[in-house]
Amino acid sequence: MNKNIKIKSYKIPPDFLKHSNINLKQYKTLYRQSIKKPGHFWATQAKKFISWFSPWKKISTGSLKKLNMRWFVGGKLNACYNCVDRHLETRTNQIAIIWQGDNPNDSKTITYGELYDKICRFANVLKDHGIKKGDRVCIYLPMIPEIIISMLACARIGAIHSVVFGGFSPESLKTRILDAECRLVITADESIRGGKYIPLKKNVDIAIKKCPKVHKVIVVKRTGNPITMHRKRDIWYHEAMMGVDAKCPPKKMDANDPLFILYTSGSTGNPKGVLHTIAGYMVYVTMSFKYIFDFHDGDIYWCTADLGWITGHSYLLYGPLANGGTTLLFEGVPNYPNFSRYWEIIDKYKVNIFYTAPTAIRALRHEGDKWVNKTSRKSLKLLGTVGEPINPDVWEWYYNVVGNAKCPIVDTWWQTETGGILISPLPGATPLKPGSAAWPFFGIVPEIVNDKGKVIKNNNPGRLVIKQSWPGFMKTIYGDRKRFVDTYFKEVPGRYLTGDGAYRDKDGYIWITGREDDVIKVSGHRIGTGEIESALLTVQQVSEAAVVAIPHEVKGQAIFAYVVTKSGAKSDALKKRLNAQVHRVIGPIANLEYVQFVKALPKTRSGKIMRRILRKIASSEFDDLGDTSTLADPSVVDTLIAERKKVSNEAKGRRQ
């Protein structure tokens, strides 16, 4: 974000103040309490928001310095019980899930009573197939109610779910199944998105050829198109659900038992299995959902994120259902059958809280206001965004055109690792500055530090770290404690290193500037440059590859790959082959926007690729390349610039 741009700030719309859960004065008081006496604060919240089978013995132990923090030690609870059972007395007939299919005519609703019945039955199916407490279950499903049923059925019996986004390739699925040592996979015959069919079961068949521990695959019939079923291994979901016992008591779980693993990309190596534990996560997401989304009974809430990502876990499923809310689950995409789709769904179900990603807002804004203006969106009271920085002009469009200038926007900053939102406006408390995630949530102490770990202030950019432990934070990287310590705690000891850059203005507003490591965000999807490079290196002609992000108007960032080939091969056909390979290894979300064949990469004398230079050249910022004196061969830079200019000129020529 350019600090010189003048930003207009927005007061809280007066109508909103009348009913909001927390005002500015309350926020300030509670925030102070939450960081001065975190034990007392979280004990109060944990009693208020969560039902316990037995109370904790110690509210927390350990610290971020010692890396042994635990919350609600000795407490017993069950996440599924908190999302469903405890609401039955008052909400059996209330709608828990509104499901909207890809086809506008395809929809259904599920009440809390029905959800309870389905989860108990499916939990018994899992048990019948040998799944017990602590086992890992891989869920590779579309956005259909069965994904929620599966996740909660795992939570009910103490199994650990590992949801893999349906857009990942068989290869990525295999890596994740093997890493978590999953014993069972739940999938569907196919998924449908934007009218296109994706062969999920076929992908599973390919993936598990090399996964010896998987002994069962449960298949939901979504489209009914023919698929191959392996007689001894594969089971139809609908058949398994018939005749199974409808009673399944929730397992009494320990506060610090794992709830789920969710894979996310890091700077190096394979994706990391981020492990979250039950109590801390549940307290944090339940409470943050209530305050940040200003949730009230009867609200209709829609989060457009896929359940394969953390946003789906925390704020489509666990947060809303633990609060007894009605959550909308959408199978499709924002541009099918037309660009009004989101706004039509909002009108159809009278959605009043809407949470989406800047990439979707940018894409829809690009198509013009007419698609929005066709709809009323009268029901909306609050808008949210997540996943990447939102530009002030895109924010203003969202506020004025989508929200009719009456809905506050919560720009929520957080990560897979953090479990829930750490920095965000509170809608009834925080005057809004477009493009800023504003202030820390309760219990969160952000700091901005320089390369030496010293705190910096007054608009100066630095690395965003978190100083104090909070209940929603991950426990570890599954099976790799060393990587957990090295990634997040080595460079700035005693602080959680987020990997993001940020600065704080004079009013205490935090402005996120983007990732500082080798993670890029393409359409809000988090992808490690190392993963893409490894995929490129599997192509026989490639001898070296370096991937950087360049700004993209709609996607936020796009992938730019520099490729050195053996014998200097370069052709459009080879570019296509490289892209196809990246799709095959990672999935179509990792699309190479630009491939530039180069003679050599800029390296230091110790052989480290200087990505800073590659980023600048990719963005055609040739004038300010910084210090190049440490390069083993500085002349490489001139060649790279010449090659880049040649490619840009050719592209310009083609456009004219």
Judged by beta carbon, residue 253 or residue 262, the one nearer ligand PRX is 262
Torsional class of 578: left (φ above 0), alpha (ψ -120 to 50), beta (otherwise): alpha
Q: Are 344 and 104 in contact (CB under 8 A)?
A: yes
Binding window for ligand PRX (CB under 6 A); candidates: 392-400, 484-492, 494-502, 639-647: 494-502
Cβ atoms within 10 Å, residue 641: 16
Binding window for ligand PRX (CB under 6 A); candidates: 182-190, 410-418, 548-556, 628-636: 410-418
Reduced to 3 states, what is the DSSP secondary structure of residue 506? Answer: coil
Per DSSP bridges, beta strands 326-330 and 95-100 are parallel
Binding window for ligand PRX (CB under 6 A); candidates: 17-25, 396-404, 486-494, 498-506: 498-506
Judged by beta carbon, residue 171 or residue 411, the one nearer ligand PRX is 411
Any idea what DSSP says for residue 624?
-
What Cα–Cα distance (Å) separates residue 222 from each residue in 179, 231, 387? 28, 20, 29
Judged by beta carbon, residue 139 or residue 357, the one nearer ligand PRX is 357
Question: How near is the Cβ of 204 to ligand PRX at its closest, in Å?
Answer: 24
Amino acid identity, residue 226? P
Q: Is 311 in the site for ligand PRX (CB under 6 A)?
A: yes
Judged by beta carbon, residue 82 or residue 359, the one nearer ligand PRX is 359
Site string for ligand PRX, 344-383 (x = CB under 6 A): ----------------------------------------
Reduced to 3 states, what is the DSSP secondary structure of residue 14? Answer: helix
Question: How near is the Cβ of 211 to ligand PRX at its closest, in Å?
Answer: 25
- Which of 7, 131, 310, 535 binds ligand PRX (CB under 6 A)? It is 310
Q: Is 312 in the site for ligand PRX (CB under 6 A)?
A: no
Site string for ligand PRX, 507-536 (x = CB under 6 A): -----x--x-----x----x----------
Q: Is 416 in the site for ligand PRX (CB under 6 A)?
A: yes
Per the listing, tokens 């203003």 go with 396
How many residues bind to ligand PRX according to rule CB under 6 A?
21
- Which of 332, 471, 499, 556 binds ligand PRX (CB under 6 A)? It is 499
Q: Are 161 and 123 in contact (CB under 8 A)?
A: no
Judged by beta carbon, residue 513 or residue 619, the one nearer ligand PRX is 513
Q: Is 437 in the site for ligand PRX (CB under 6 A)?
A: yes
Binding window for ligand PRX (CB under 6 A); candidates: 394-402, 454-462, 495-503, 635-643: 495-503
- Which of 31, 302, 414, 439 binds ligand PRX (CB under 6 A)? It is 414
Q: Are 183 and 209 in contact (CB under 8 A)?
A: no
d(CA 389, CA 297): 30
Q: String of b and e for 513-531 (b: at least 16 CB within 10 Å)?
A: ebbbbbbbbbbbbbbbbbb
Question: How near is the Cβ of 501 to ligand PRX at its closest, in Å?
Answer: 9
Any idea what DSSP says for residue 609?
B
- Alpha-helical regions (H) of 367-420: 370-373, 392-397
Q: Are 289 and 327 in contact (CB under 8 A)?
A: no
Reduced to 3 states, what is the DSSP secondary structure of residue 463? Answer: strand
Question: How near is the Cβ of 107 to ligand PRX at its closest, in Å?
Answer: 27
Torsion of CA 519, 523, 524, 526, to 10 degrees: -30
- Which of 500, 518, 531, 533 binds ligand PRX (CB under 6 A)? It is 500
Q: Is 264 in the site for ligand PRX (CB under 6 A)?
A: yes
Q: Is 411 in the site for ligand PRX (CB under 6 A)?
A: yes
Amino acid identity, residue 470? W
d(CA 433, CA 8): 7
d(CA 427, CA 436): 13
d(CA 162, CA 274): 10
d(CA 624, CA 602): 16
Q: Is 386 in the site for ligand PRX (CB under 6 A)?
A: yes
Any bridge partners for residue 261, and if so which? 162, 275
Binding window for ligand PRX (CB under 6 A); candidates: 31-39, 407-415, 632-640, 645-653: 407-415
Question: How near is the Cβ of 411 to ligand PRX at its closest, in Å?
Answer: 5
Question: How near is the Cβ of 310 to ligand PRX at its closest, in Å?
Answer: 5
Question: How near is the Cβ of 311 to ligand PRX at its closest, in Å?
Answer: 5
Per the listing, tokens 């920085």 go with 389
Question: How near is the Cβ of 408 to ligand PRX at its closest, in Å?
Answer: 15
Judged by beta carbon, residue 273 or residue 389, the one nearer ligand PRX is 389
- Which of 273, 384, 389, 446 binds ligand PRX (CB under 6 A)? It is 389
d(CA 552, CA 511): 20
Judged by beta carbon, residue 211 or residue 497, the one nearer ligand PRX is 497
Judged by beta carbon, residue 34 or residue 557, the one nearer ligand PRX is 557
What Cα–Cα distance (Å) separates residue 409 from each residue in 15, 365, 430, 436? 14, 16, 10, 11
- Per the document, the length of the chain is 656
Judged by beta carbon, residue 258 or residue 389, the one nearer ligand PRX is 389
d(CA 596, CA 446): 39
Question: How near is the Cβ of 439 to ligand PRX at its closest, in Å?
Answer: 13
Question: How near is the Cβ of 604 to ligand PRX at its closest, in Å?
Answer: 26
Residues forming contacts to ligand PRX in the complex (CB under 6 A) are: 264, 310-311, 386-389, 411-416, 437, 498-500, 512, 515, 521, 526
